[in-house]
Amino acid sequence: EAQVTQNPRYLITVTGKKLTVTCSQNMNHEYMSWYRQDPGLGLRQIYYSMNVEVTDKGDVPEGYKVSRKEKRNFPLILESPSPNQTSLYFCASSRTGTGGNTIYFGEGSWLTVV
């Protein structure tokens, strides 16, 4: 079954404690991306990757890091989380880019920073 798997699904953490949200896809997709969803703001892109070792900033990259060492994995790293990073995070993947191909989303990771 085609899947984008995110972990953890729910996390409460404290300000400044580094955390990683993992994302893995089993479809051999080249494109992967992270979005955050906030009430009244819709989804905004944090980072994306067009292939292994190729990453770039989206609209709201501040406070986040990513890496793409393997094709299937695209972890999101919060080096020093702050309360304004409390949000719902989605990982997405597709074969090539965001246009004609189906984009698959993970189920989301609820992150609360206190």
Partner 1 sequence: AQSVTQLGSHVSVSEGALVLLRCNYSSSVPPYLFWYVQYPNQGLQLLLKYTTGATLVKGINGFEAEFKKSETSFHLTKPSAHMSDAAEYFCAVTANQAGTALIFGKGTTLSVSS
Residues within the interface to partner 1 (CB under 8 A): 31, 33, 35, 40-45, 48, 50, 56, 58-59, 90, 92, 96-103, 105-108
Residue 62, burial from CB neighbour count under 10 angstroms (0-12, 13-18, 19+): exposed
- Which CB, 82 or 98, lies closer to partner 1? 98
- Which CB, 8 or 16, lies closer to partner 1? 8
Q: How far is the CB of 56 from partner 1 (least distance, A)?
A: 7
What region does 12 belong to: left with phi over 0, alpha with psi -120 to 50, or beta? beta
